[in-house]
Structure 1
Protein backbone atom coordinates (compact mmCIF):
# COMPACT_ATOMS: atom_id res chain seq x y z
CA UNK A 1 0.00 0.00 0.00
CA UNK A 2 1.24 3.49 -0.81
CA UNK A 3 1.89 5.45 2.36
CA UNK A 4 0.98 9.14 2.59
CA UNK A 5 2.91 11.58 4.76
CA UNK A 6 1.00 14.55 6.17
CA UNK A 7 3.15 17.46 7.32
CA UNK A 8 2.07 20.45 9.34
CA UNK A 9 3.61 23.31 7.39
CA UNK A 10 4.41 26.90 8.21
CA UNK A 11 5.72 29.72 5.98
CA UNK A 12 9.43 30.43 6.34
CA UNK A 13 11.05 33.83 6.83
CA UNK A 14 14.65 34.95 6.47
CA UNK A 15 15.70 36.16 9.93
CA UNK A 16 19.04 36.49 11.67
CA UNK A 17 20.10 33.27 13.39
CA UNK A 18 21.36 33.22 16.97
CA UNK A 19 22.24 30.53 19.47
CA UNK A 20 21.61 29.97 23.14
CA UNK A 21 21.66 27.45 25.96
CA UNK A 22 19.11 26.33 28.57
CA UNK A 23 20.35 25.54 32.08
CA UNK A 24 18.84 24.27 35.32
CA UNK A 25 18.46 27.32 37.59
CA UNK A 26 19.58 25.42 40.71
CA UNK A 27 22.37 23.18 39.42
CA UNK A 28 23.59 24.97 36.30
CA UNK A 29 23.34 21.70 34.37
CA UNK A 30 22.16 21.71 30.77
CA UNK A 31 18.46 20.95 30.18
CA UNK A 32 18.04 18.69 27.15
CA UNK A 33 15.17 18.62 24.64
CA UNK A 34 13.38 21.76 25.79
CA UNK A 35 10.61 22.87 23.43
CA UNK A 36 11.03 26.53 22.41
CA UNK A 37 7.91 27.89 20.72
CA UNK A 38 7.29 31.23 19.04
CA UNK A 39 4.40 33.52 20.04
CA UNK A 40 4.35 35.20 16.62
CA UNK A 41 4.26 32.08 14.47
CA UNK A 42 3.74 28.33 14.68
CA UNK A 43 7.38 27.32 14.43
CA UNK A 44 9.64 25.98 17.15
CA UNK A 45 13.06 24.57 17.93
CA UNK A 46 14.33 22.14 20.57
CA UNK A 47 17.49 22.14 22.64
CA UNK A 48 19.92 19.32 21.94
CA UNK A 49 21.26 16.87 24.52
CA UNK A 50 23.66 19.58 25.77
CA UNK A 51 20.95 22.23 26.17
CA UNK A 52 22.07 24.20 23.09
CA UNK A 53 19.70 25.66 20.51
CA UNK A 54 19.75 27.82 17.38
CA UNK A 55 16.96 30.28 16.63
CA UNK A 56 16.02 32.55 13.75
CA UNK A 57 13.05 34.26 15.39
CA UNK A 58 12.16 37.94 15.41
CA UNK A 59 14.13 39.64 18.27
CA UNK A 60 10.83 40.91 19.70
CA UNK A 61 9.24 37.46 19.67
CA UNK A 62 8.22 36.16 23.10
CA UNK A 63 9.48 32.58 23.29
CA UNK A 64 7.91 29.87 25.46
CA UNK A 65 10.41 27.41 26.98
CA UNK A 66 8.76 24.20 28.21
CA UNK A 67 10.27 20.95 29.45
CA UNK A 68 9.05 18.00 31.47
CA UNK A 69 9.87 18.55 35.14
CA UNK A 70 10.38 22.32 34.80
CA UNK A 71 8.28 25.43 35.13
CA UNK A 72 7.41 27.01 31.79
CA UNK A 73 9.23 30.29 31.08
CA UNK A 74 8.39 33.10 28.64
CA UNK A 75 11.45 35.05 27.48
CA UNK A 76 12.02 37.63 24.74
CA UNK A 77 14.08 36.24 21.84
CA UNK A 78 16.63 39.04 22.12
CA UNK A 79 17.31 38.01 25.74
CA UNK A 80 17.41 34.24 25.23
CA UNK A 81 21.16 33.62 24.94
CA UNK A 82 21.25 31.97 28.39
CA UNK A 83 17.96 30.71 29.81
CA UNK A 84 17.49 29.29 33.31
CA UNK A 85 14.55 26.99 34.04
CA UNK A 86 13.30 26.23 37.54
CA UNK A 87 12.57 22.60 38.39
CA UNK A 88 9.05 21.72 39.53
CA UNK A 89 8.81 20.56 43.13
CA UNK A 90 6.34 17.67 43.46
CA UNK A 91 4.75 17.52 46.95
CA UNK A 92 4.61 14.04 48.49
CA UNK A 93 2.36 14.80 51.46
CA UNK A 94 -0.52 12.33 51.49
CA UNK A 95 0.81 10.44 48.47
CA UNK A 96 1.22 6.68 48.69
CA UNK A 97 4.38 5.67 46.82
CA UNK A 98 4.24 2.13 45.43
CA UNK A 99 6.40 0.10 43.08
CA UNK A 100 5.22 -2.23 40.30
CA UNK A 101 5.51 -5.97 40.98
CA UNK A 102 5.80 -6.91 37.28
CA UNK A 103 4.43 -10.42 37.76
CA UNK A 104 1.47 -10.08 35.37
CA UNK A 105 1.31 -8.41 31.95
CA UNK A 106 -1.44 -7.41 29.54
CA UNK A 107 -1.57 -5.67 26.17
CA UNK A 108 -3.89 -2.86 25.18
CA UNK A 109 -4.53 -1.46 21.71
CA UNK A 110 -2.30 -2.62 18.86
CA UNK A 111 -2.17 -2.20 15.10
CA UNK A 112 -1.61 -4.02 11.83
CA UNK A 113 1.20 -2.50 9.77
CA UNK A 114 -0.76 -3.10 6.58
CA UNK A 115 -3.50 -0.75 7.87
CA UNK A 116 -1.18 2.23 8.25
CA UNK A 117 -1.90 4.66 5.41
CA UNK A 118 -0.66 8.00 6.73
CA UNK A 119 2.30 9.37 8.70
CA UNK A 120 2.21 12.69 10.57
CA UNK A 121 5.28 14.92 10.83
CA UNK A 122 6.52 18.50 10.82
CA UNK A 123 8.86 20.92 9.06
CA UNK A 124 9.38 22.94 12.23
CA UNK A 125 5.85 23.37 13.53
CA UNK A 126 5.57 23.11 17.32
CA UNK A 127 3.25 20.17 17.84
CA UNK A 128 2.54 17.19 20.09
CA UNK A 129 0.38 14.42 18.62
CA UNK A 130 -1.55 12.48 21.25
CA UNK A 131 -3.87 9.49 21.58
CA UNK A 132 -6.32 9.03 24.43
CA UNK A 133 -6.72 5.75 26.28
CA UNK A 134 -10.02 5.68 28.17
CA UNK A 135 -10.37 3.80 31.49
CA UNK A 136 -10.53 0.01 31.14
CA UNK A 137 -11.33 -2.69 33.69
CA UNK A 138 -7.94 -4.39 33.27
CA UNK A 139 -6.19 -1.24 34.50
CA UNK A 140 -7.19 -2.30 38.04
CA UNK A 141 -5.07 -5.47 37.95
CA UNK A 142 -2.28 -4.09 35.75
CA UNK A 143 -2.02 -0.35 36.49
CA UNK A 144 1.58 0.35 35.40
CA UNK A 145 2.88 1.18 31.93
CA UNK A 146 5.75 -1.10 30.88
CA UNK A 147 6.35 -0.65 27.14
CA UNK A 148 5.07 1.48 24.26
CA UNK A 149 5.37 0.40 20.63
CA UNK A 150 4.56 2.78 17.78
CA UNK A 151 5.01 2.90 14.01
CA UNK A 152 7.67 5.37 12.87
CA UNK A 153 9.17 6.41 9.57
CA UNK A 154 12.53 8.17 9.46
CA UNK A 155 14.74 9.50 6.69
CA UNK A 156 17.73 9.79 9.05
CA UNK A 157 19.55 7.33 11.28
CA UNK A 158 18.41 7.22 14.89
CA UNK A 159 15.98 10.15 14.88
CA UNK A 160 15.08 11.28 18.40
CA UNK A 161 11.61 12.12 19.65
CA UNK A 162 10.02 12.89 22.99
CA UNK A 163 7.25 10.74 24.48
CA UNK A 164 4.78 12.44 26.82
CA UNK A 165 2.19 10.91 29.13
CA UNK A 166 -0.70 13.05 30.34
CA UNK A 167 -3.47 12.39 32.83
CA UNK A 168 -6.97 12.51 31.39
CA UNK A 169 -9.29 15.02 33.01
CA UNK A 170 -12.77 13.77 34.02
CA UNK A 171 -14.20 15.32 30.83
CA UNK A 172 -11.76 13.38 28.63
CA UNK A 173 -9.44 16.28 27.83
CA UNK A 174 -5.65 16.17 28.35
CA UNK A 175 -4.46 17.14 31.82
CA UNK A 176 -1.16 17.29 33.68
CA UNK A 177 2.04 15.52 32.66
CA UNK A 178 2.38 12.15 34.40
CA UNK A 179 6.18 12.01 34.27
CA UNK A 180 8.96 14.15 35.71
CA UNK A 181 11.68 13.44 33.13
CA UNK A 182 12.11 13.17 29.37
CA UNK A 183 11.30 9.84 27.78
CA UNK A 184 13.33 9.82 24.56
CA UNK A 185 12.52 7.40 21.76
CA UNK A 186 14.94 6.47 18.96
CA UNK A 187 13.52 5.80 15.48
CA UNK A 188 15.84 3.90 13.15
CA UNK A 189 15.91 4.76 9.47
CA UNK A 190 13.00 3.46 7.40
CA UNK A 191 9.51 2.34 8.43
CA UNK A 192 9.71 0.40 11.68
CA UNK A 193 7.98 -0.69 14.85
CA UNK A 194 9.72 1.43 17.48
CA UNK A 195 9.59 0.27 21.11
CA UNK A 196 10.18 2.43 24.20
CA UNK A 197 10.88 0.82 27.58
CA UNK A 198 8.77 2.57 30.21
CA UNK A 199 9.85 0.43 33.18
CA UNK A 200 12.33 2.96 34.64
CA UNK A 201 9.63 5.61 34.99
CA UNK A 202 7.05 3.75 37.14
CA UNK A 203 4.11 5.40 35.38
CA UNK A 204 0.83 4.46 37.05
CA UNK A 205 -2.40 4.76 35.04
CA UNK A 206 -4.66 7.52 36.44
CA UNK A 207 -8.32 7.11 37.35
CA UNK A 208 -9.76 8.76 34.24
CA UNK A 209 -7.35 7.26 31.71
CA UNK A 210 -4.40 8.89 30.01
CA UNK A 211 -2.92 10.28 26.80
CA UNK A 212 0.28 9.25 25.02
CA UNK A 213 1.91 12.22 23.26
CA UNK A 214 4.55 12.14 20.52
CA UNK A 215 6.79 15.14 19.86
CA UNK A 216 9.33 15.35 17.04
CA UNK A 217 12.42 17.17 18.29
CA UNK A 218 13.39 20.17 16.17
CA UNK A 219 17.15 19.54 16.34
CA UNK A 220 19.77 19.55 13.53
CA UNK A 221 20.38 15.79 13.58
CA UNK A 222 16.67 15.15 12.84
CA UNK A 223 16.60 17.53 9.85
CA UNK A 224 16.53 16.25 6.27
CA UNK A 225 15.76 17.45 2.74
CA UNK A 226 12.25 16.28 1.86
CA UNK A 227 12.14 17.63 -1.68
CA UNK A 228 13.72 20.20 -4.00
CA UNK A 229 12.58 21.68 -7.29
CA UNK A 230 13.14 24.52 -9.75
CA UNK A 231 10.07 26.61 -10.53
CA UNK A 232 9.04 28.07 -13.88
CA UNK A 233 11.15 31.16 -13.20
CA UNK A 234 14.20 28.91 -12.75
CA UNK A 235 14.35 29.62 -9.03
CA UNK A 236 15.59 26.66 -6.97
CA UNK A 237 13.60 25.70 -3.87
CA UNK A 238 14.40 23.31 -1.02
CA UNK A 239 12.06 22.08 1.71
CA UNK A 240 13.45 20.62 4.92
CA UNK A 241 11.58 18.51 7.44
CA UNK A 242 12.29 16.71 10.71
CA UNK A 243 12.27 12.98 11.44
CA UNK A 244 10.56 10.89 12.52
CA UNK A 245 6.97 10.81 11.35
CA UNK A 246 4.32 8.79 13.19
CA UNK A 247 2.03 6.20 11.61
CA UNK A 248 -1.75 6.24 11.87
CA UNK A 249 -4.64 3.91 11.19
CA UNK A 250 -8.39 4.65 11.05
CA UNK A 251 -11.16 4.37 13.61
CA UNK A 252 -14.87 5.14 13.89
CA UNK A 253 -14.46 7.27 17.03
CA UNK A 254 -11.92 10.01 17.62
CA UNK A 255 -9.00 9.36 20.00
CA UNK A 256 -6.52 11.87 18.55
CA UNK A 257 -5.57 15.24 19.96
CA UNK A 258 -2.90 17.81 19.20
CA UNK A 259 -1.08 20.51 21.14
CA UNK A 260 0.09 23.41 18.99
CA UNK A 261 -1.03 26.39 16.91
CA UNK A 262 -2.44 28.52 19.75
CA UNK A 263 -0.37 26.54 22.28
CA UNK A 264 -3.44 24.71 23.50
CA UNK A 265 -5.03 21.29 23.09
CA UNK A 266 -7.55 20.50 20.40
CA UNK A 267 -9.27 17.38 19.10
CA UNK A 268 -8.37 16.17 15.63
CA UNK A 269 -10.96 16.94 13.01
CA UNK A 270 -11.67 14.77 10.02
CA UNK A 271 -9.60 15.80 7.01
CA UNK A 272 -11.73 16.36 3.93
CA UNK A 273 -11.06 14.18 0.86
CA UNK A 274 -10.56 17.33 -1.19
CA UNK A 275 -7.79 18.62 1.09
CA UNK A 276 -5.91 15.33 1.19
CA UNK A 277 -6.13 14.68 -2.53
CA UNK A 278 -5.18 18.24 -3.43
CA UNK A 279 -2.19 18.12 -1.09
CA UNK A 280 -1.14 14.79 -2.55
CA UNK A 281 -1.54 16.09 -6.10
CA UNK A 282 0.51 19.22 -5.39
CA UNK A 283 3.24 17.31 -3.60
CA UNK A 284 3.52 14.58 -6.25
CA UNK A 285 2.57 16.44 -9.42
CA UNK A 286 5.84 15.46 -11.09
CA UNK A 287 5.74 11.75 -10.18
CA UNK A 288 2.73 10.54 -12.14
CA UNK A 289 1.63 8.39 -9.18
CA UNK A 290 -2.04 7.82 -8.42
CA UNK A 291 -3.43 9.15 -5.17
CA UNK A 292 -4.20 6.45 -2.56
CA UNK A 293 -7.80 5.56 -1.69
CA UNK A 294 -9.22 8.01 0.83
CA UNK A 295 -10.69 6.79 4.12
CA UNK A 296 -13.02 9.30 5.79
CA UNK A 297 -12.87 7.73 9.26
CA UNK A 298 -10.97 9.34 12.14
CA UNK A 299 -7.17 9.23 12.25
CA UNK A 300 -5.75 7.18 15.16
CA UNK A 301 -2.07 7.00 16.05
CA UNK A 302 -0.80 3.43 15.82
CA UNK A 303 0.22 2.30 19.31
CA UNK A 304 0.52 -0.84 21.39
CA UNK A 305 0.99 -0.70 25.15
CA UNK A 306 2.20 -3.38 27.53
CA UNK A 307 0.92 -2.90 31.08
CA UNK A 308 1.86 -4.71 34.28
CA UNK A 309 0.96 -5.05 37.96
Structure 2
Protein backbone atom coordinates (compact mmCIF):
# COMPACT_ATOMS: atom_id res chain seq x y z
CA UNK A 1 0.00 0.00 0.00
CA UNK A 2 2.85 2.35 0.88
CA UNK A 3 4.49 1.58 -2.47
CA UNK A 4 1.27 2.42 -4.30
CA UNK A 5 0.91 5.72 -2.44
CA UNK A 6 4.56 6.56 -3.18
CA UNK A 7 4.08 5.75 -6.89
CA UNK A 8 0.95 7.91 -7.08
CA UNK A 9 2.79 10.75 -5.34
CA UNK A 10 5.69 10.58 -7.81
CA UNK A 11 3.32 10.37 -10.80
CA UNK A 12 1.29 13.35 -9.57
CA UNK A 13 4.48 15.37 -8.99
CA UNK A 14 5.80 14.61 -12.48
CA UNK A 15 2.54 15.55 -14.21
CA UNK A 16 2.17 18.71 -12.10
CA UNK A 17 5.53 19.89 -13.45
CA UNK A 18 4.32 19.81 -17.05
CA UNK A 19 2.35 22.51 -18.81
CA UNK A 20 0.82 23.15 -22.22
CA UNK A 21 2.98 25.88 -23.70
CA UNK A 22 0.76 27.68 -26.18
CA UNK A 23 0.13 31.03 -27.81
CA UNK A 24 -0.39 32.78 -31.13
CA UNK A 25 1.86 34.72 -33.53
CA UNK A 26 0.36 37.66 -35.41
CA UNK A 27 1.68 40.19 -37.94
CA UNK A 28 2.07 43.51 -36.12
CA UNK A 29 0.86 45.54 -39.10
CA UNK A 30 -1.78 43.43 -40.84
CA UNK A 31 -2.96 41.49 -37.74
CA UNK A 32 -2.89 38.34 -39.89
CA UNK A 33 -1.58 35.06 -38.39
CA UNK A 34 2.11 34.29 -38.92
CA UNK A 35 2.24 30.86 -40.55
CA UNK A 36 4.98 28.25 -40.01
CA UNK A 37 7.23 30.34 -37.78
CA UNK A 38 10.00 28.44 -36.00
CA UNK A 39 9.95 28.70 -32.20
CA UNK A 40 13.17 27.36 -30.67
CA UNK A 41 14.33 27.18 -27.06
CA UNK A 42 17.84 28.61 -27.24
CA UNK A 43 19.57 26.29 -24.78
CA UNK A 44 17.91 23.04 -25.80
CA UNK A 45 16.71 21.16 -28.87
CA UNK A 46 13.06 21.81 -28.06
CA UNK A 47 10.88 23.70 -30.45
CA UNK A 48 7.61 23.93 -32.33
CA UNK A 49 6.19 25.66 -35.42
CA UNK A 50 3.12 27.85 -35.68
CA UNK A 51 0.14 26.42 -37.57
CA UNK A 52 -1.88 27.93 -40.45
CA UNK A 53 -3.83 30.04 -37.94
CA UNK A 54 -0.68 31.29 -36.18
CA UNK A 55 -1.23 29.19 -33.06
CA UNK A 56 1.29 26.83 -31.47
CA UNK A 57 1.09 24.32 -28.65
CA UNK A 58 3.47 21.84 -27.03
CA UNK A 59 3.63 19.93 -23.77
CA UNK A 60 6.78 20.54 -21.74
CA UNK A 61 8.24 20.92 -18.26
CA UNK A 62 7.18 24.23 -16.73
CA UNK A 63 10.83 25.07 -15.99
CA UNK A 64 11.14 26.03 -19.67
CA UNK A 65 8.89 29.04 -19.11
CA UNK A 66 11.94 30.82 -17.66
CA UNK A 67 13.99 30.05 -20.78
CA UNK A 68 14.48 32.27 -23.81
CA UNK A 69 12.93 31.34 -27.13
CA UNK A 70 14.04 32.42 -30.59
CA UNK A 71 11.27 33.04 -33.12
CA UNK A 72 12.14 33.21 -36.81
CA UNK A 73 10.03 33.26 -39.93
CA UNK A 74 10.30 34.19 -43.59
CA UNK A 75 9.79 37.96 -44.04
CA UNK A 76 9.81 38.72 -40.29
CA UNK A 77 12.48 40.09 -37.97
CA UNK A 78 13.93 37.55 -35.57
CA UNK A 79 12.55 37.85 -32.04
CA UNK A 80 13.98 36.62 -28.74
CA UNK A 81 11.70 36.64 -25.68
CA UNK A 82 11.16 34.72 -22.48
CA UNK A 83 8.78 31.81 -22.97
CA UNK A 84 6.60 32.97 -20.05
CA UNK A 85 5.94 36.25 -21.88
CA UNK A 86 4.36 34.30 -24.76
CA UNK A 87 2.47 31.72 -22.72
CA UNK A 88 -1.29 31.96 -23.37
CA UNK A 89 -0.69 35.25 -25.20
CA UNK A 90 -0.59 36.82 -28.64
CA UNK A 91 2.86 37.91 -29.79
CA UNK A 92 3.06 40.48 -32.58
CA UNK A 93 5.97 39.98 -34.99
CA UNK A 94 7.50 42.88 -36.89
CA UNK A 95 7.56 42.26 -40.66
CA UNK A 96 10.68 43.11 -42.64
CA UNK A 97 10.41 45.87 -45.22
CA UNK A 98 10.61 43.64 -48.28
CA UNK A 99 10.09 45.05 -51.74
CA UNK A 100 9.12 42.34 -54.19
CA UNK A 101 10.58 42.80 -57.67
CA UNK A 102 8.16 42.85 -60.57
CA UNK A 103 8.41 39.55 -62.42
CA UNK A 104 8.68 39.74 -66.21
CA UNK A 105 9.27 36.61 -68.21
CA UNK A 106 11.04 37.45 -71.45
CA UNK A 107 13.79 34.83 -71.55
CA UNK A 108 13.77 31.93 -73.95
CA UNK A 109 14.94 28.68 -72.40
CA UNK A 110 17.04 26.54 -74.73
CA UNK A 111 19.83 25.46 -72.37
CA UNK A 112 19.81 23.97 -68.89
CA UNK A 113 22.13 22.21 -66.46
CA UNK A 114 21.54 20.17 -63.32
CA UNK A 115 23.59 20.62 -60.18
CA UNK A 116 23.67 18.00 -57.44
CA UNK A 117 21.88 15.29 -59.41
CA UNK A 118 20.98 12.34 -57.18
CA UNK A 119 22.29 9.07 -58.60
CA UNK A 120 22.98 6.98 -55.49
CA UNK A 121 21.01 5.53 -52.60
CA UNK A 122 19.24 8.06 -50.39
CA UNK A 123 19.44 7.75 -46.59
CA UNK A 124 17.59 9.74 -43.94
CA UNK A 125 18.89 12.80 -42.09
CA UNK A 126 17.25 12.83 -38.66
CA UNK A 127 19.11 15.50 -36.63
CA UNK A 128 17.75 16.42 -33.21
CA UNK A 129 16.83 20.09 -32.92
CA UNK A 130 17.27 20.80 -36.63
CA UNK A 131 14.93 23.44 -38.01
CA UNK A 132 16.49 23.81 -41.47
CA UNK A 133 19.03 21.91 -43.51
CA UNK A 134 20.77 23.65 -46.40
CA UNK A 135 23.01 22.72 -49.30
CA UNK A 136 25.37 25.18 -50.97
CA UNK A 137 25.42 25.58 -54.77
CA UNK A 138 28.43 27.52 -56.08
CA UNK A 139 28.45 29.76 -59.12
CA UNK A 140 31.33 28.14 -61.01
CA UNK A 141 32.32 27.29 -64.57
CA UNK A 142 29.40 24.87 -64.87
CA UNK A 143 26.90 27.73 -64.55
CA UNK A 144 28.37 30.01 -67.25
CA UNK A 145 25.67 29.04 -69.73
CA UNK A 146 22.80 29.04 -67.30
CA UNK A 147 22.10 31.33 -64.33
CA UNK A 148 18.30 31.28 -63.85
CA UNK A 149 16.75 28.97 -61.24
CA UNK A 150 14.22 26.59 -62.79
CA UNK A 151 13.41 23.68 -60.46
CA UNK A 152 14.48 22.32 -57.07
CA UNK A 153 14.21 18.60 -56.31
CA UNK A 154 14.19 17.27 -52.74
CA UNK A 155 14.65 13.54 -52.09
CA UNK A 156 13.38 11.73 -48.98
CA UNK A 157 14.31 8.67 -46.96
CA UNK A 158 12.57 5.37 -47.78
CA UNK A 159 11.88 4.23 -44.21
CA UNK A 160 8.19 3.32 -43.90
CA UNK A 161 7.48 5.09 -40.61
CA UNK A 162 8.73 8.38 -42.08
CA UNK A 163 6.72 8.14 -45.28
CA UNK A 164 3.47 9.85 -44.35
CA UNK A 165 1.57 12.75 -45.82
CA UNK A 166 3.41 15.83 -44.60
CA UNK A 167 4.46 19.43 -45.27
CA UNK A 168 7.74 21.32 -45.45
CA UNK A 169 8.94 24.65 -46.78
CA UNK A 170 11.65 25.63 -49.27
CA UNK A 171 13.95 28.58 -48.56
CA UNK A 172 16.65 30.10 -50.79
CA UNK A 173 19.46 32.01 -49.08
CA UNK A 174 22.39 34.16 -50.16
CA UNK A 175 25.89 33.34 -48.90
CA UNK A 176 27.49 35.51 -46.23
CA UNK A 177 30.82 36.69 -47.64
CA UNK A 178 32.47 36.65 -44.21
CA UNK A 179 31.15 33.51 -42.52
CA UNK A 180 30.29 31.42 -45.58
CA UNK A 181 26.92 30.60 -43.97
CA UNK A 182 23.38 31.23 -45.27
CA UNK A 183 22.42 34.89 -44.84
CA UNK A 184 19.38 36.56 -46.44
CA UNK A 185 16.29 35.12 -48.13
CA UNK A 186 16.55 35.53 -51.90
CA UNK A 187 12.95 34.48 -52.45
CA UNK A 188 10.57 36.33 -50.14
CA UNK A 189 7.58 34.19 -51.06
CA UNK A 190 6.12 31.50 -48.84
CA UNK A 191 6.70 28.13 -50.54
CA UNK A 192 5.13 25.36 -48.44
CA UNK A 193 5.12 21.95 -50.12
CA UNK A 194 2.88 18.99 -49.31
CA UNK A 195 3.88 15.44 -50.20
CA UNK A 196 1.84 12.25 -50.18
CA UNK A 197 2.53 9.12 -48.17
CA UNK A 198 5.37 7.16 -49.76
CA UNK A 199 6.46 10.00 -52.06
CA UNK A 200 10.23 9.79 -52.51
CA UNK A 201 10.90 13.18 -54.07
CA UNK A 202 9.30 16.57 -54.58
CA UNK A 203 9.98 18.78 -57.61
CA UNK A 204 9.35 22.49 -57.01
CA UNK A 205 9.06 24.77 -60.03
CA UNK A 206 10.46 28.25 -59.30
CA UNK A 207 10.97 29.38 -62.89
CA UNK A 208 8.29 32.09 -62.61
CA UNK A 209 10.25 34.00 -59.98
CA UNK A 210 13.05 35.03 -62.36
CA UNK A 211 15.81 34.31 -59.84
CA UNK A 212 19.48 34.30 -60.86
CA UNK A 213 22.26 32.57 -58.98
CA UNK A 214 24.44 35.22 -57.25
CA UNK A 215 28.14 35.57 -58.02
CA UNK A 216 29.14 33.76 -54.82
CA UNK A 217 26.46 31.07 -55.10
CA UNK A 218 23.42 30.33 -52.96
CA UNK A 219 21.89 27.89 -50.49
CA UNK A 220 18.78 25.78 -50.99
CA UNK A 221 17.25 24.99 -47.60
CA UNK A 222 14.71 22.41 -46.49
CA UNK A 223 12.70 23.85 -43.58
CA UNK A 224 11.10 21.35 -41.25
CA UNK A 225 7.66 22.20 -39.86
CA UNK A 226 6.96 21.08 -36.29
CA UNK A 227 3.19 20.99 -36.65
CA UNK A 228 0.66 18.29 -35.60
CA UNK A 229 0.02 17.43 -39.26
CA UNK A 230 3.62 16.14 -39.52
CA UNK A 231 3.78 14.07 -36.32
CA UNK A 232 4.33 10.36 -36.84
CA UNK A 233 5.47 8.92 -33.50
CA UNK A 234 7.12 9.59 -30.18
CA UNK A 235 10.80 9.49 -29.35
CA UNK A 236 10.95 6.75 -26.74
CA UNK A 237 14.61 7.51 -25.98
CA UNK A 238 13.69 11.07 -24.98
CA UNK A 239 12.94 11.38 -21.28
CA UNK A 240 10.15 13.82 -22.10
CA UNK A 241 8.83 11.60 -24.91
CA UNK A 242 8.62 14.23 -27.64
CA UNK A 243 7.28 13.62 -31.14
CA UNK A 244 9.07 12.84 -34.37
CA UNK A 245 8.12 14.92 -37.40
CA UNK A 246 7.99 14.03 -41.09
CA UNK A 247 9.18 14.29 -43.77
CA UNK A 248 12.76 13.11 -43.34
CA UNK A 249 14.99 14.68 -45.97
CA UNK A 250 17.61 12.42 -47.51
CA UNK A 251 21.34 12.61 -47.98
CA UNK A 252 23.34 10.76 -50.60
CA UNK A 253 26.86 10.06 -51.83
CA UNK A 254 28.23 12.61 -54.30
CA UNK A 255 31.37 13.10 -56.37
CA UNK A 256 33.65 15.80 -54.96
CA UNK A 257 32.33 18.57 -57.23
CA UNK A 258 28.79 18.21 -55.82
CA UNK A 259 29.52 17.86 -52.10
CA UNK A 260 29.67 21.62 -51.69
CA UNK A 261 31.00 21.67 -48.10
CA UNK A 262 28.60 18.90 -47.05
CA UNK A 263 25.56 20.29 -45.18
CA UNK A 264 24.51 23.25 -43.03
CA UNK A 265 22.05 23.16 -40.13
CA UNK A 266 19.87 25.84 -38.55
CA UNK A 267 19.80 24.92 -34.85
CA UNK A 268 18.95 26.99 -31.74
CA UNK A 269 18.44 30.13 -33.79
CA UNK A 270 21.64 30.13 -35.84
CA UNK A 271 23.33 28.50 -38.84
CA UNK A 272 26.28 26.16 -38.50
CA UNK A 273 28.25 23.68 -40.58
CA UNK A 274 27.00 20.20 -39.72
CA UNK A 275 29.18 18.25 -37.25
CA UNK A 276 28.96 15.38 -39.77
CA UNK A 277 31.31 17.37 -42.00
CA UNK A 278 34.13 16.53 -39.57
CA UNK A 279 33.49 12.78 -39.82
CA UNK A 280 35.79 11.39 -42.52
CA UNK A 281 33.40 8.72 -43.82
CA UNK A 282 30.59 11.31 -44.12
CA UNK A 283 32.52 13.82 -46.24
CA UNK A 284 31.38 12.05 -49.40
CA UNK A 285 27.74 12.80 -48.54
CA UNK A 286 25.52 15.85 -48.88
CA UNK A 287 21.77 16.61 -48.72
CA UNK A 288 19.84 14.97 -51.57
CA UNK A 289 18.91 18.29 -53.15
CA UNK A 290 19.36 19.06 -56.84
CA UNK A 291 18.93 22.29 -58.77
CA UNK A 292 18.22 22.92 -62.44
CA UNK A 293 19.47 26.19 -63.95
CA UNK A 294 18.56 27.58 -67.38
CA UNK A 295 19.67 30.43 -69.62
Which SS does the other structure have where 1:40 is aligned?
coil
Distance in 2, matches of 1:227 and 1:166, equals: 31
Match of 1:6 in 2: none
Match of 2:3 in 1: none
Matched, 1:223 2:231: yes
Matched, 1:167 2:174: yes
Q: Is the 8 A contact 1:108 1:304 kept in 2?
A: yes
Matched, 1:181 2:178: no
Q: Which sections of structure 1, spanning at least 5 residues, go unmatched?
A: 1-12, 230-235, 274-294
- How many Å apart are 1:199 and its aligned residue? 2.9
Which SS does the other structure have where 1:269 is aligned?
helix
Match of 2:81 in 1: 75
Matched, 1:151 2:151: no
How is 1:39-50 mapped onto 2 (pairs within 5 angstroms)? Answer: 39-50=42-53
Which SS does the other structure have where 2:65 is aligned?
coil
Quick one: structure 1 residues 16 and 156, their matched pair in 2 at CA, closer, same or farther if it must change by over 3 Å? Answer: farther
Match of 1:193 in 2: 201
How is 1:17-166 mapped onto 2 (pairs within 5 angstroms)? Answer: 17-56=20-59, 58-80=64-86, 81-90=89-98, 99=105, 101-112=107-118, 114-116=120-122, 118-122=123-127, 125-153=129-157, 155=162, 157-166=164-173
- How many Å apart are 1:139 and its aligned residue? 3.5
- How many Å apart are 1:72 and its aligned residue? 1.1
Q: Is the 8 A contact 1:167 1:206 kept in 2?
A: yes
Q: Which sections of structure 2, spanning at least 5 residues, go unmatched?
A: 1-14
Match of 1:214 in 2: 222
Q: Is the 8 A contact 1:156 1:224 kept in 2?
A: no
How is 1:290-309 mapped onto 2 (pairs within 5 angstroms)? Answer: 295-309=281-295
Distance in 1, matches of 2:170 and 2:46, equals: 19
Match of 1:257 in 2: 264
Distance in 2, matches of 1:237 and 1:18, equals: 14
- How many Å apart are 1:66 and its aligned residue? 0.8
Farther off after superposition, 204-213 or 161-170 = 161-170
Task: Tell me the number of residue pairs that the alignment of Structure 1 and Structure 2 aligns.
Answer: 266
Match of 1:244 in 2: 247
Which SS does the other structure have where 1:36 is aligned?
strand
Which has the larger helix fraction? 2
Taking structure 1 as the reference length, the TM-score comes to 0.75
Farther off after superposition, 14-23 or 143-152 = 14-23
Q: Is the 8 A contact 1:23 1:51 kept in 2?
A: yes
Distance in 1, matches of 2:108 and 2:19, equals: 52
- How many Å apart are 1:300 and its aligned residue? 0.5
Quick one: structure 1 residues 102 and 223, their matched pair in 2 at CA, closer, same or farther if it must change by over 3 Å? Answer: farther
